[in-house]
Structure 1
Amino acid sequence: MTRIVAVINLKGGIGKTTTVVNVSAGLALKGARVLLIDIDAQGNLAMALGVRPRRTLYEAIVDQKPLTELRISARPNLDLIAADESLLLAQQAIAGRSDWVRVLEQLVRPVREEYDFIFFDCGGSLTVLNQNALIAATEIIIPTTVEPFSVRGLEKLITQIARVKGSTSVVRAIIPTMVDSRMRQSIDLLAHLNRTYGQLVLPPVRTNVRLSEASAVGKTIYEHDPRSRGALDYAQIVEVLSKMWNFQPTRPISPRPLPNSTAKRPLVTGDGAVQSNTCPNCGHALRRANVAGYRITYCTHCRYRQQELITGAH
């Protein structure tokens, strides 16, 4: 079954596009067929992936072009429908239609069977297209920074999702981003998120300059610095989501060669299982993932994590 995932937060600057790029790239490396659809007029997805599309989602909405004519291959197993400022005009065109809330749902219907996952990279406000994405979505992921306004806004967003979808059951994950363990506020608010939302809260993405660098040069974090904290954190999130969605990897792949790149190729593997091993903090079963030559052992209950270099890894 194709999973249609809306990655949304109504606050800007909290890592939505970074999360879309690196979660989808990790799934593609594991063998998933992934389509990314940028529904933000800023058009950051194309820049973050280092591609220059000639055609955008505007043509599908206004000119009724099929998505098959507009998509481009950004990476192996990873296709993109790009956006730019023309989406602002497209939203005006949608608003006058009787079926305005199901435009995206109708657009993706012909290509659903071609993909395991379709991700919508949503903008930072409840636009017509964001409402379309929520209606079309079978899953919703909410990245959020751990600072007071973001945490407060998260409650309002979930209330709005309930109004649009009729329930909050489609909210599958909350991903804390830009977490700085040296700051007491980060630790306190992360604990608050865990108490409030429980298992919805995934392992945090720590503050890591490599993530912003990767976006600036048009690479995924696995390509830019596969041994960075950002790569390790997002690889762990990919493993947790793969387990939650019961996605069975087929043939994992390596990213396409990058010109003038000497970076070692990432490896995102593992079925998440650890035999006869329990968390030293809480006693729950530990999980395991391998990424970029490191073995990460982690607990989804108390957020315990340990990483070690795999002997002989290249």
Structure 2
Amino acid sequence: MKIKLVIGNQKGGVGKTTTAINLARCFADRGLRTLLVDTDPQGSVAVLLKLRPENYLADFVLSQLRLQDCVVNVSPNLDVICGNRETTTMEQRIFAMYGREHVFDNVFRPYENDYDALVVDVSPSISLTQACSLVLCRHVVIPISMDTLSVSGAGATIFSAKTIGDSVRAPIQILGLLPTIVNRRYALTDVVMKMVTQLSETFQLPVLSAVRTDQSIGKAARAHSMLVDYDPKSKALEDYDLVAAQIIALLDGSVKAQTVENIAV
């Protein structure tokens, strides 16, 4: 795979699942065969897109079913494997396995050539499932909404990624910090963006293009539709498409982190 990403922040409500869904769709619409994996026991992706798969992530990992029998195709080039409450049981079972942090890496490896991009949505809490996802993908994008606690959650995510990477000797890279739900009219936005800049400078991380507040995101969710299908002219969709271009450029090495903001769609 060319692209393997975990979308994570140790704080909830930062637009993490929205980001995972929209980036996956942006990759797919660029012609990349894309797999979106939901590892959250709440099954947020299935709820948002109103999916009712026959099999879930836990079935794929524990029962060793074929991946093609566990995915749902939601648009051209985009498959989804959904999480549900059984994900918690799966995690408990994995805990007793040898080399448990590499379980996802092992089960997804046979399908490496079937997809060009893999996007994994993880729950806000630090968990074994999150560790497995980090080892599988080795790259993380951290959405940060415009509240100070989300910056703290981002810092915790950076720390946990380094800790997990060191413990399993698998370098995990924070690919970028992604400001989300950004409304420049609010004073708090300026405060949080300064904190994001400071976090970026402290850890030498790129800041990806901000995703603006957009009512179409909530409306699309209520309609159980992807943003591009609900409102193709959405300003948030425009932002996510730019972020997708930046991620591709960072991963193929065509730009340096310091110049990521200069990338155009």
TM-score scaled by length of structure 1: 0.76
- State yes or no: 1:183 paired with 2:186: yes
Q: Which residue of 2 aligns with 1:28?
A: 28
Partner of residue 255, structure 1:
none
Deviates more, 1:114-123 or 1:195-204: 195-204
SS at match of 1:200: coil
Q: 1: CA distance between counterparts of 2:75 and 2:49?
A: 8
The superposition leaves residues 43-77 of structure 1 with CA deviations (integer Å, 9 ceiling, x where unpaired) of: 11123334321210111222222323211211110
Structure 2: gaps of 5 or more residues: none
Cα distance change of structure 1 residues 60 and 288 upon mapping to structure 2, 3 Å threshold: closer
CA–CA separation in structure 2 for the residues paired with 1:3 and 1:240: 12
**Contact 1:177/1:207 (8 A) holds in 2:** yes
Cα gap change, 1:102 to 1:108, in 2 (>3 Å)? same
Q: Which of the pair is proportionally richer in helix?
A: 2
Cα drift, residue 110 of structure 1: 0.7
Counterparts of 1:11 and 1:241 in 2: how far apart (Å)?
22
**Structural mapping, 1:109-258, within 5 Å:** 109-166=109-166, 170-197=173-200, 200-246=206-252
- Contact map agreement 1:67 1:107 (CA 8 A) in 2: no
Q: Which residue of 1 aligns with 2:79?
A: 79
Give the C-alpha shift of residue 187 in structure 1: 1.4
Deviation at 1:16, TM superposition (A): 0.9
Match of 1:258 in 2: none
Aligned-partner Cα distance in 2 for 1:34–1:204: 23
TM-score, with structure 2 as normaliser:
0.89
CA contact (8 A) 1:2 1:112 kept: no
Give distance in 1, aligned partners of 2:172 and 2:134.
Answer: 12
Gap runs ≥5 in structure 1: 249-271, 273-283, 290-314
- 1-side partners of 2:16 and 2:99: how far apart? 27
Contact preservation (8 Å) 2:38, 2:81:
yes
Q: What's 1:303 paired with?
A: none
Task: Give the CA RMSD over aligned residues.
Answer: 2.3
* Structure 1 position 218, deviation (Å): 2.1
Listed as ranges, the matches of 1:35-50 within 5 Å are: 35-50=35-50
Structure (1/2) with the larger strand percentage: 1
Q: Report if aligned partners of 1:28, 1:78 keep a CA contact under 8 Å in 2.
A: yes
Task: Output the CA distance in 1 between the equivalents of 2:60 and 2:172.
Answer: 30
Contact 1:50 1:217 in 2 (8 A): no
**Could you tell me which amino acid in structure 2 is paired with residue 30 of structure 1?**
R
Greater C-alpha Rg: 1
Displacement after TM superposition at 1:189 (Å):
1.5
CA distance in 2, matches of 1:162, 1:143: 17
Counterpart of 1:252 in structure 2 is none
Aligned residues: 255
Q: 1:247 deviation in Å?
A: 9.6
1:42 partner amino acid? Q
Select the structure with the greater relative contact order (CA < 8 A; seq sep ≥ 6): 2
Q: Could you tell which deviates more after superposition, 185-194 or 18-27? A: 185-194
- Give the secondary-structure state (helix, strand or coil) at the position aligned to 1:118: strand
Mapped contact 2:3–2:248 kept (Cα < 8 A): no
